[in-house]
Chain A
Amino acid sequence: GENVEQHPSTLSVQEGDSAVIKCTYSDSASNYFPWYKQELGKRPQLIIDIRSNVGEKKDQRIAVTLNKTAKHFSLHITETQPEDSAVYFCAASETSGTYKYIFGTGTRLKVLA
């Protein structure tokens, strides 16, 4: 079946440094790629998303890039802050008319003060 691979599973960075999380998907027809942030004990929150007709999208310190040819997309967080510490999930839409999302297994980001 379709799957989404996410790397790394854990990531520690110093406050102020950048963090990059990468995902690879298998369904070449996937056309929507959201990223969710889940803080400890809280619900996943959508932080940014990108569609297949766009190569890059930015929102303040967060950016997402998409390479459709290679079937991978990445989340970039610049000037990291302690409140960025959380688990981040990527997802890709499965587009056989069913609009199902396949999620990556998550990346635990720790920002060290």
Chain B
Amino acid sequence: KAGVTQTPRYLIKTRGQQVTLSCSPISGHRSVSWYQQTPGQGLQFLFEYFSETQRNKGNFPGRFSGRQFSNSRSEMNVSTLELGDSALYLCASSLDWGRETQYFGPGTRLLVL
């Protein structure tokens, strides 16, 4: 079974631009969570989607948003990029909402100049 995939793997943007990242979960998995990973802050939870609905949200500004499609694929969008948004963005999928085991994708490394 194929693992979690994320596209693109690397991205360079400038301040003020917006970006959309994509995550395809493991086949059959319906829950997708997004995390921001930075060297000093570790893994910070952004949001979780299940059945096209956002079930949970972390403490990030409204510039960070996401959505999930009927095939469970998920996208996250960051508008008005800031230098501090440079990070590795990881998504993780799990079989169902509330099913604990999460499997991570390889991440998208975003650099904001």
For chain A, the count of residues having a C-beta within 8 Å of the partner chain is 22
List CB contacts (< 8 Å) of B69-110 with chain A. 90, 97-98, 100-107
- In angstroms, how far is the closest chain A Cβ from the Cβ of B96? 10
Please pick, from B42, B59, B101, B107, the residue contacting A34 in the complex, using a CB distance under 8 A.
Answer: B101
Additional A-B contact list (6), CB under 8 Å, known A99-B97, A103-B35: A43-B105, A43-B107, A44-B43, A99-B98, A100-B56, A104-B42
Please pick, from B42, B45, B97, the residue contacting A105 in the complex, using a CB distance under 8 A.
Answer: B42
What is the CA–CA distance of A1 and B44 in the complex, to the nearest angstrom?
Answer: 13
A42 at the binding interface (Cβ < 8 Å): yes
What is the CA–CA distance of A101 and B56 in the complex, to the nearest angstrom?
Answer: 11
For chain B, the count of residues having a C-beta within 8 Å of the partner chain is 24
| Chain B residues at the A interface, C-beta cutoff of 8 Å | 4, 33, 35, 41-45, 48, 55-56, 58-59, 90, 97-98, 100-107
What is the CA–CA distance of A104 and B45 in the complex, to the nearest angstrom?
Answer: 12
- In angstroms, how far is the closest chain B Cβ from the Cβ of A84? 19
Question: What residues of B have a CB within 8 angstroms of the CB of A42 in the complex?
Answer: 106
Q: Are B42 and A93 in contact (CB under 8 A)?
A: no
What is the CA–CA distance of A44 and B4 in the complex, to the nearest angstrom?
Answer: 12
Q: Please, could you name 25 A-B residue pairs with CB atoms under 8 Å apart, sorted by A?
A: A32-B100, A34-B102, A36-B104, A43-B4, A43-B105, A43-B106, A43-B107, A44-B43, A44-B90, A44-B104, A45-B104, A46-B102, A49-B100, A89-B42, A98-B56, A99-B97, A99-B100, A100-B56, A100-B58, A101-B33, A101-B45, A101-B102, A105-B41, A106-B42, A106-B43
- In angstroms, how far is the closest chain B Cβ from the Cβ of A26? 15
What is the CA–CA distance of A34 and B94 in the complex, to the nearest angstrom?
Answer: 13
Question: What residues of B have a CB within 8 angstroms of the CB of A46 in the complex?
Answer: 101-103
Q: Are B100 and A34 in contact (CB under 8 A)?
A: yes
What is the CA–CA distance of A6 and B52 in the complex, to the nearest angstrom?
Answer: 34
Question: What residues of A have a CB within 8 angstroms of the CB of B105 in the complex?
Answer: 43
